[in-house]
Amino acid sequence: MSLQLNGITVTVRDGRTDLIIVDGVDLAVAAGETVALTGPSGSGKSTLLSVAGLLLRPTAGRVTVAGVDVTDLKDRARTRLRGTTIGVVYQAANLLPSLTARQQVEVVAHVNGRLDRTARGRVVELLTRVGLEDRLDARPGELSGGERQRVALARALMMEPTVLLADEPTAALDPARAAEVNALLLEEAGRWGTATLLVTHDGADAAGADREIRLERPASIVV
Ligand code: ADP
Ligand code: MG
């Protein structure tokens, strides 16, 4: 399994009680598989994605990414692993205002010490695949919301990640644009063989995935 979450529990301290945010979730995503993660607002979807993305250490449970059990890894090793094996797309594209579309994607290779000729070629290939071959030198201010999310998707795929994590990547787009970007995300994820976890509110988006896992709000509060 490319991504494996076992018994993931996240609690946060709230005064004198511990609130359970994620309650013992098990989840596995294989290479090339797309899993939709759904559930009501507050059910812990984004929190679980942060755990899978190695940004948040769970209170309990184990995380395995690309065959590496990261549970006991130190921060530095986790950061290095995250940079090369995990791609993320959020609701906002989070692009750097002064960089062109091409530079947004190149920067990922640069920070991982891999910006060479091959990488530059891959940047153009990715941006072409997401339909931006004529917008390579456009800055975020010159791009539509849908185009910005396409850049974010290309950026997430730049390092050939084992795992692609997307947290409501189309929630800020109009329905037609949202459907296009979602279809593109699923198509590209399939093409590059990533294990994809897609948080979505949208039933149609979820239906495009191979499977759906639904979270409920944890009922219990531990005192
Ligand atoms: P979802 O993405 O499904 O809407 P989240 O993962 O964002 O849910 O949040 C789940 C619940 O946990 C929410 O009620 C949220 O307010 C709460 N929560 C998340 N992070 C924290 C935190 N660091 N401290 C306190 N409460 C938190
Ligand atoms: Mg959320």
Q: Is pLDDT above 70 for 223?
A: no
Residue 30 CA to ligand 2 centre (angstroms): 23
47 three-class SS: helix
Domain encompassing residue 174: 3-214
pLDDT digits (tens, 9 = 90+) for 81-96: 999 999 999 999 999 9
Residue 99 CA to ligand 1 centre (angstroms): 32
The CATH number given to whatever domain includes residue 13 is 3.40.50.300
Residue 209 maps to a domain: yes
127 three-class SS: helix
Task: Provide the total of helices (H) and of strands (E) in the chain, helices listed first.
Answer: 7, 10
Q: What does pTM read for this prediction?
A: 0.95
Residue 100 maps to a domain: yes
Residue 70 maps to a domain: yes
Q: Which H helix or E strand runs over 69?
A: strand 68-69
Residue 41 CA to ligand 2 centre (angstroms): 7
The DSSP 8-state label assigned to residue 151 in this structure reads: H
**Tokens found for residue 84:** 């090369």
Total domain count, the chain: 1
Q: Which H helix or E strand runs over 105?
A: helix 101-111
Protein residue with its CA nearest to atom 22 in ligand 1? 12
Q: Which residues line ligand 1 (CB under 6 A)?
A: 12, 21, 39, 41-47
Residue 93 maps to a domain: yes
pLDDT digits (tens, 9 = 90+) for 44-73: 999 999 999 999 999 999 999 999 999 999
pLDDT digits (tens, 9 = 90+) for 164-202: 999 999 999 999 999 999 999 999 999 999 999 999 988
Protein residue with its CA nearest to atom 5 in ligand 1? 44
In this prediction, residues 131-159 reach a mean pLDDT of: 97
